Amino acid sequence: MATRAPGRPLHGPDPATPDRSVGAASVIPGFGLTMGLTIAWLSLIVLIPLSSIFLRAAGMGWADFVAAGFSPRAIAAYKVSFGTALIAALVNALFGLLTAWVLVRYDFPGRRIVGALVDLPFALPAAVAGIALTAIYAGNGWVGQYLEPLGFKVAYTPVGITVALIFIGLPFVVRSVEPVLADLSAEVEEAALSLGARPWQVFARVILPAILPALLTGFALAFARGVGEYGSVIFIAGNMPFTSEIAPLLIVTQLEQYDYAAATAIAAVMLIASFALLLAINLVQAWSRRRVDG
């Protein structure tokens, strides 16, 4: 079963294919053209524009950078962004694993539709998800009207932010775990069972270790996406500084007040955080490839 998703990790060249000639020495034409196009386009659209953040931040001077990038309001916004993204990613790790398990292991009516529905957050624009979730969880909404009398407010609180980030992040976990779960060989589980292991022992000792790298990758992708998410969050967040203001919104607010320095400093801090996450994801994948190959 070849389940494919944008969250899927990119693999390097297939180790099974023999190593062949480098670059222009191959009989296949077009290396210069396609490579030139790739590097030029990548530099113009991504690398040069992104470096503008760091060049601007470097031009600010250390004291100004810290004052703007780590002001009390900015630190509160980082706490909201990273905290809600962490909780949402943990929920998604649990329910994403459950969803992947149910989709791979069980046959039930509507399985294909459920499988397609998992990708909804990749296809539904963030702003649409944002206003829909707000309508559902507001005090007079479909779900909110039952929660609010119980003293449980979702919309316009950090809980609402977490709900939006659960929506956004779920497919990353499901699509990371699903192919690995499908490729697990049945023999190992059967052997464990025949040796007297209980089903939960098989899960904890045999299945979980095998899918752990994929689960961690999905968790990290969902977390990284949640930290930077904007469109689905701002409608449901309440956007009160120090309590429910996310870091991307603070960037927009500073920009609207023409405080470019503060916007740049906060963006630089967020970029460094997301590069660190990207590095962590790559390390997890390298670790899992070594485990598979070794």
Partner 1 sequence: MTARPATSGAARFALIALAIGFLALFLLLPLVAVFAEALAKGFGAYAAAIAEPDALAAIRLTLLVAAIAVPLNIVFGIAAAWAIAKFDFPGKTVLTSFIDLPFSVSPVVAGLIYVLLFGAHGWFGPWLRVHDIQIIFAVPGIVLATVFVTFPFVARELIPLMSEQGRDDEEAALSLGASGFQTFWRVTLPNIRWGLLYGVLLCNARAMGEFGAVSVVSGHLRGQTNTMPLHVEILYNEYNFVAAFAVASLLALLALVTLILKSIVEWRFDYQRGGAGH
Of residues 211 through 270, those in contact with partner 1 by CB under 8 A are 224-225, 227-231, 235, 247-249, 251-252, 255, 258, 260, 263-264, 267, 270
- Comparing CB distances to partner 1, the nearer of 55 and 66 is 55
Of 127, 232, 109, 110, which Cα lies nearest the Cα of 170?
232
Ranges within 65-94 binding partner 1 (CB under 8 A): none
The whole-angstrom separation of Cα 44 and Cα 55 is: 16
- Please tell me whether residue 37 binds partner 1 under the rule CB under 8 A: yes
* 197 Rama class: left (phi>0) / alpha (psi -120 to 50) / beta: beta
Distance between alpha carbon 243 and the CA centroid of its chain, in Å? 23
Give me the least distance between CB of 222 and partner 1, in Å please: 12
Task: Please classify residue 79 by burial: count the beta carbons closer than 10 Å to its beta carbon, then call 0-12 exposed, 13-18 middle and 19+ buried.
Answer: middle
- Please tell me whether residue 19 binds partner 1 under the rule CB under 8 A: yes
Ranges within 129-148 binding partner 1 (CB under 8 A): 129, 131-133, 135-136, 142-143
The whole-angstrom separation of Cα 243 and Cα 75 is: 11
Applying CB under 8 A, the site for partner 1 has a residue count of 109
- Please tell me whether residue 150 binds partner 1 under the rule CB under 8 A: no
Task: Please classify residue 51 by burial: count the beta carbons closer than 10 Å to its beta carbon, then call 0-12 exposed, 13-18 middle and 19+ buried.
Answer: exposed
- Please tell me whether residue 126 binds partner 1 under the rule CB under 8 A: yes
- Comparing CB distances to partner 1, the nearer of 53 and 90 is 53
Select from 14, 63, 72, 140 the one that contacts partner 1 (CB under 8 A). Answer: 14
Asked if residues 152 and 190 have their Cβ atoms less than 8 Å apart, the reply is: no
- Comparing CB distances to partner 1, the nearer of 63 and 186 is 186
- Please tell me whether residue 124 binds partner 1 under the rule CB under 8 A: yes
- Please tell me whether residue 6 binds partner 1 under the rule CB under 8 A: yes
Give me the least distance between CB of 5 and partner 1, in Å please: 9
